[in-house]
Structure 1
Amino acid sequence: MKVGLQLHLFAIASESLVAVVTRNLTQEMARLLLIKFLDLIFNNFRGEVPSWFGFLHELQFLSLKNNSFTGPLPSSFFNISKLEMLNLAFNSVGHIPVSLSNASRLERLELSSNLIQGSIPNEISNLHKLNWLAIKYNQLTGSIPLTVFNIFRIEVISFTGNSLSRSLPNGLCNGLPNLKGLYLSINKLHGHIPTSLSNCSQLQLLGLSENEFDEPIHSEIGILSKLQQLYLGTNHFTGIIPQEIGNLINLMELWMEVNQSQSPCKIKGLIPNDFGNLSSLLDLDLSENSLAGSIPTTIGNLRNIQHFNFRINNLTGFIGDHICKLQHLGEIYLGQNQLSGSLPNCLGNITSLREIHLGSNKLSSNIPPSIGNLQDLVVLDLSSNNMVGSLPPKIGNLKAVTLIDLSMNQFSNGIPRKIGGLRTLVHLSLRHNKLQGSIPDSMSIRVGLEFLDLSHNNSYVFGKTSKPKVFECFCQQIVWYRRGKRAPQQANSLSTITRERISYYELLQATDDRSDSNLIGSGSFGSVYKGILRCGTAIAVKVFNLQLDAAFKSFDTECEFLRNLRHR
């Protein structure tokens, strides 16, 4: 009879719990005295974790993941002498009892994403068979006890996303020959990284990012030859990047970004040439440091790399042709440096490129025509450089592009007609150049275009039908108007006034291409037209004459006025 009851209730637990997802677990389940495997994940069981689980002495596997359990873990839990796996992740459990140490056969303990407070209990070291310990994204405080690093069989330790503080123990890894993953990111740990960390010879992942570690990164880290992922970003490290990191030939991800906050010295010096030995590297992030010198030519040896980010440093020199060897590269982030010279002509040969961020440098010369080969390119940012010449017509071949920012350069001549055929284009900024001539008529039907800035160029007209010397500076204006009826509304209904973004094409239709019959009035800096949107809303559209320098000031003044305007 017991076996029949056991099988019946297990079927309910595995298939029919949807009908009772908002109830507490029934105590009838305490009669499953022979059950060994119980999986109740992804339901909405609530209330405190039932203490009667402690009566299921044959239980080996128990998962209550993704429910709504609250309160402390009952002490009786850890009287289950045969329990090997316990998963309570994604609940609201708030305490770990000292009796945890009684579960001597426990191999895997997963308590992540709860509300667990207090310090890590020293008694956890009595779980001699534990190989997986994860209490990430909780509210743990205090230091990490050295006893945690005495669990001989442990392979993964994860305390990411807590408020653990103080420094790491000096004896770290002295007794952990099997440790493969150490996740300590997003805490308040400080001090130096213990050199004893190099004793973790099997370590594959080391996560120390978003802490307060300081002092230089020691060269012993290069001994961890099996390391595949190394996260050291957002700390207070100082000194130089040790060239011994180039010995980590199995490394696939290296993040050392943002090591300058509150640090007087920051990470500085050169990007080590030995980084070229990291042939397995897929992702390299050294952004927001104080690195100087040129990008080493050995970077061209990273044949598998897909993403690198060196933005916001002090890098100088040219972007050499060696970058074109990176045929799997998806994103280039080199903005806000001091790079100079021309873009490599071979850049268009990296057909895997999706984003190019090279703004705020000192690049010169023109845009290589090969850029048109990048059919998957989504973002092209070359703003705030010293680039010259004509915009290449092949820029119109970027069929996937959504953002083009070429502002703050010295580009001249006209806008290529093909730009109007970029159906995915949302943001186009060409301001502060020396462009001249007519805006292509094809741009007037770019319905999806949300932002267009052609200010601070030479004289422009919009096709043959445009009023001379007049051009709307932004494709999407911010317009204040009443929703709903066309007729004037009463004062008590003005609470529905809202800010809307209207496409340039819709403004043209609403004002009948700014016909004279819709002209309300003209002033020193432009004209105002009335219009009716497709939804029936009446609007007024002001068009500035950008040949008058004072029009820019007038535009700024009116925007500031509207920004501060408060309706009843």
Structure 2
Amino acid sequence: MTALRIIVLHSNRFSGRLPSEFGHGLPNLEEIYLWNNQFSGQFPSSISNCSKLTIVELSTNSFGPIPNSLGNLMHLERLNREDNLFTGESSVPELCFLSALTSCKALTRLVLAGNPLNGTLPTSIGNFSAIRYFNAESCNIKGNIPRELGQLSNLTTFILQNNELIGSVPVTIGRLQKLQVLYLHGNKLNGSLPNDIFQMSSLGELILSRNNLSGALPACLGDFSSLRSLQLDSNNFISTIPSTLWNLQDVLDLNLSSNSLSGHLRLSMGNLNVVTQVDLSSNHLSGSIPVSIGGLQNLMNLSLGQNIFEGPIPESFGNLISLEALDLAIITCLEQFPSP
């Protein structure tokens, strides 16, 4: 089968191990699609003989270790190992296979999500010169985010949610001018938000929920004109909400709940023209609820509960024509809800 270019076996019930000689005799193989089967065992190291490989899709199987020989595939562009049984080497904390893969200079998409990697990110992660999409969510990754991450100048999506990362968000992340999606929620990150993070002019989604981040929300949050989703909930932020935040006129989803934010909400909150979700619950916000909220015609979910607002519910709430869910629980001294 020396002329074979593409193998497509996905979405079946194939099981067992691939033969160790799998990669022999396939010099023209360019693409492999084995996802959604029941294959197991180590992926054959002989695959390195398929020097023309560009795509390897192995998700939703029970494959074990990734052979370091994959690093010899100079034309590899996409590698997907999502939802398998791959683990890191028990003898060293670093995920050494990542260092091997940095030799794949054409690699633009790497998906490792849902594997029990149980290791730390090596500093060599900064050598993925072409990488655009990196997803290693729910992999039991530990330790710090290497500052070398800032060297990935082509990166557009970086997903490390639901791991065991510690330490602060590296300031070098601000160098990633092409980054559009940053998901770091569900970790143990601490410290304050570095101002450098707000230099990423292309960022559309910033999700840092469920960490141990603290300090003040920086005023430069409002400079993120490209931002569509901002989720900083379930942290330890203690400041007032900066007035500049209400300059995010294109934001769709805003979640600052479960922090210790204080102060009053401003009338300029009504500048969030297209917002559909706002959750500011479980903070220490006070004063009256701004009447300008009633002008948010696209707002579907509004949660202000478990704060210390007082005074009447604005009659303008009757203009919230898209509203589907409203949470004002445990707010003091609220008068009757406005008539429709």
Length-normalised TM-score, structure 2: 0.94
Q: Distance in 2 between matches of 1:455 and 1:368?
A: 24
2:103 is the alignment partner of 1:230: no
Q: How does 1:269-418 map to 2 (within 5 A)?
A: 269-418=143-292
- Offset from partner CA, 1:219-239 (integer Å, 9 cap, x none): 222222221001111001011
Letter in 2 for 1:256: A
Residues 221 and 245, structure 1, Cα contact 8 Å, conserved in 2:
no
> Counterpart of 1:165 in 2: which secondary structure?
strand
**Paired AA for residue 450 in structure 1:** E
Q: Aligned-pair distance for 1:444?
A: 2.2
**Aligned-partner residue type, residue 200 of structure 1:** L
The one-letter code sitting in structure 2 at the alignment partner of 1:375 is Q
Task: In structure 2, give the amino acid aligned to 1:341.
Answer: G
Give 1:145 deviation, angstroms. 2.3
- Cα deviation, 1:229-283, whole Å, max 9, x if unaligned, reads 0111100101101221210111000000001xxxxxx310000111100010010
1:153 aligns with 2:33: no
CA distance in 2, matches of 1:194, 1:297: 33
For 1:413-445, what per-residue CA distance to the aligned partner results, in whole angstroms no more than 9, with x for missing partners? Answer: 111110011001111111111111122111123
2:130 equivalent to 1:245: no
- 1:203 counterpart residue number: 76
Task: Looking at secondary structure, tell me which structure has more helix per residue.
Answer: 1
Report the CA distance between 1:285 and its aligned residue.
0.2
Residue 170 of structure 1: CA displacement? Answer: 3.2
Say if 2:47 is the partner of 1:172.
yes
Between the aligned partners of 2:10 and 2:237, the Cα distance in structure 1 is: 45
**2:56 & 2:266 partners in 1: Cα distance?**
50
Q: CA deviation at 1:365?
A: 0.6
Q: Deviations over 1:300-342 (max 9, x none)?
A: 0110011010000000011121111111111111000000011
Following superposition, the deviation at residue 207 of structure 1 comes to 0.8
User: Post-superposition, which runs of at least 4 consecutive aligned residues in structure 1 deviate over 4 A?
Assistant: none
Q: C-alpha separation between the residues in 2 aligned to 1:425 and 1:249?
A: 41
How big is the shift at 1:367? 1.2
| Cα root mean square deviation, aligned | 1.4
Superposition pairs of residues 397-476 of structure 1, within 5 angstroms: 397-462=271-336
Write the letter of the residue equivalent to 1:193: I
1:389 is paired with a residue whose SS is strand
SS at match of 2:177: coil
Measure, in 2, the Cα distance between the counterparts of 1:445 and 1:333: 30
Cα distance, 1:352 vs. partner?
Answer: 1.1
Aligned 1:542-561 pairs, distance under 5 A = none
Q: How many residues were matched structurally?
A: 332
**Partner amino acid, structure 1, of 2:186:** I
CA distance in 1, matches of 2:66, 2:41: 12
Question: Max radius of gyration: which structure?
Answer: 1
Contact kept, 8 Å, 2:21 with 2:46, in 1: the verdict is no
Q: 1:371 touches 1:394 (CA, 8 Å); kept in 2?
A: no
**For each residue in 1:391-432, what CA deviation from the matched residue of structure 2 results, as whole angstroms up to 9, or x when unmatched?**
122111101111110000001111111001100111111111
Structure 2: distance between partners of 1:139 and 1:245? 35
- What SS does structure 2 have at the residue aligned with 1:461? coil
1 CA distance for matches of 2:146 and 2:312? 49
- Give the Cα–Cα distance (whole angstroms) in 1 for the partners of residues 149 and 79 of structure 2: 18
- Contact preservation (8 Å) 2:102, 2:125: yes
Correspondence 1:95-114 to 2 at 5 A? none
Structure 1 residue ranges without an equivalent (≥5)? 1-126, 260-265, 463-470, 472-504, 510-568
Of the two structures, which has the highest relative contact order with CA contacts closer than 8 Å and spacing of 6 or more?
Answer: 2
Residues 359 and 385 of structure 1 are in contact (CA less than 8 Å); yes or no, is this contact kept in structure 2? Answer: yes
SS at match of 2:16: coil
Q: Name the residue aligned to 2:88.
A: 215
